[in-house]
Structure 1
Amino acid sequence: MKDTRGILELNKNSWEKAAERFFGRTALPEYGPLAPTENELQLLGNIYEQKVLDIGCGSGHSLQYMGDSGAKELWGIDFTKKQIETAKILLQHQKVDVQLFESPMEQNPGIPDNYFDIIYSIYALGWTVNLKQTLENIYRYLKRGGTFVFSWEHPMHDRIFYNEEVGYILNKSYNIEGPELNEAWHQEVVIYHRKLSTYINTLIETGFTIEKVIDDVALPNDHTPTQPNKWYSTEKAQLIPATFIIKASKK
């Protein structure tokens, strides 16, 4: 397995190639596949006149949502050039200050400390190769009293796979953490498997106060069956959440 620098390079190259198929997907008010939305949860609180930072901003659609909700300043960081270029085009008509950085989230490309009212990350934080460093950065960026909300794929989700003969089976250890080639990307990226407790405990160690942990499942109203061997399926979501969401604050 590559070192962290090599993993970042591999993942960046893969994202540059695949970015277009993710434009606009999994963006606020959505938190992730088969999960409740911000419209239901109201985790971000009052957005009007707030300075916000998006960690892993992708194509900028979550920042667009924040701008349309009255945010005062829109800041974003993403390590792919193609995503940042797309976000700049999408956000060019926002009538507020927009600052976008092409950079890994483990590094600070010029983001101010103790500045933001709201920081969030929608299905991006799990890409970090150094969770402690990334959370320390976010903690520094956030004002006292500020809110941090992030979502990511539930760490049990890729431990369970569909077998046509016996149904869903557990075929990977939940307890063994570390970098893994990701099946959903056909082995083209490396993602760190971390237990849910690792995210929670690292937040606490960094200084955050945990406000809420959510792993509820939101199935379509019509409960339309999907292919059970799809990466995200309603059948699988009835057994294990696809997404988890955590709200934390800096006291």
Structure 2
Amino acid sequence: MNKQRWEISAERFFGRTALPEYGPFALTEAQLKLFGSICGKKVLDIGCGSGHSLQYMGKEEARELWGLDLCTKQIETARKVLKDQQAEVKLVESPMEENPGLPIGYFDIVYSIYALGWTTDLSRTFSHIYDYLKPGGTFVFSWEHPLHDRLKFEESSFTFNKSYVIEGPEYNEGWQNLAVIHHRKLSTYINTLIEAGFMIEKVIDDVCLPDEQSENPAKWYSTQKANLVPATFIIKASKK
């Protein structure tokens, strides 16, 4: 179901929420410097989308650019975006819950920008990512903060209309209930990383607001809501 919706809706997301940005109202890689030097590194993008984060990695002189995505249309777009890269480019169409033949213990950096929360099996996905990394390798990902869609603007004020503590699959309101996504607490992401063997280095949910307020507080990402709860969280972890 989700793959079908992505094939229909992919163009909406071409070039959106890509490095050096981590997500709405979040600090950027220029501010956080989570990756350190990328020059000469082999990198893998989980949920690579239209390839713009990999394009950033190429500009930072990564040696190999690998991308994984469920959506055929996204992979086709990424090939066009990355066609002039000097680095070696390998793009694979596959769900992140499966290993489609990616090398084990190979990558210096694995990352995911606003994509990893789509997984239907978080534990399995983290285990694959752990396997892909070299010992000492870095894993960085960002995703919508799990408090964000619990809060809704209704009748001139924000209210919590969903439980934060009840986890599981649910229809995604941002996709007009035509896609299913799993609600998980922030602690679930952290604990599942630890269970997969990762060492957590940073958890970031700082909010960086623009000078101007959104005109419509009912927008999915509005400055009014970001004044109350973070829109984005970022985690940096490493393979022991």
Q: CA RMSD in A?
A: 0.7
- The question of 1:195 aligning with 2:155 is answered no
Q: Which residue of 2 aligns with 1:5?
A: none
Equivalent AA in structure 2 for residue 83 of structure 1: Q
Identity %: 68
> Residues 1-251 of structure 1 correspond to what in structure 2 (within 5 A)?
10-165=1-156, 167-220=157-210, 222-251=211-240
Question: Is contact 1:226-1:235 (8 Å) kept?
Answer: no
Partner SS state of residue 14, structure 1? helix
Q: Matched residues in 2 for 1:39 and 1:194: separation?
A: 28
Q: Matched residues in 1 for 2:56 and 2:208: separation?
A: 21
Of the structure 1 ranges 224-233 and 195-204, higher mean CA displacement relative to structure 2 is found in: 224-233
Q: Matched residues in 1 for 2:40 and 2:47: separation?
A: 22
> What's the CA shift for 1:140?
0.1
Q: Matched residues in 2 for 1:163 and 1:137: separation?
A: 41
Partner SS state of residue 20, structure 1? helix
Q: Matched residues in 1 for 2:3 and 2:214: separation?
A: 34
Partner SS state of residue 165, structure 2? coil
Q: Matched residues in 2 for 1:96 and 1:234: separation?
A: 38
Question: Is contact 2:61-2:87 (8 Å) kept?
Answer: no
Post-superposition CA distance 1:32-61 (Å, at most 9, x none)? 011111010000111000000000000000
Post-superposition CA distance 1:125-156 (Å, at most 9, x none)? 00000000000000000000100000000000
Partner SS state of residue 66, structure 2? strand
TM-score if structure 2 supplies the norm length? Answer: 0.99
> What's the CA shift for 1:223?
2.8
Equivalent AA in structure 1 for residue 89 of structure 2: V
Partner SS state of residue 98, structure 2? coil
> What's the CA shift for 1:164?
2.1
TM-score if structure 1 supplies the norm length? Answer: 0.95
Post-superposition CA distance 1:99-130 (Å, at most 9, x none)? 10000000111110000001000000000000
Question: Is contact 2:48-2:54 (8 Å) kept?
Answer: yes
Unaligned runs of 5+ in 1: 1-9
Unaligned runs of 5+ in 2: none
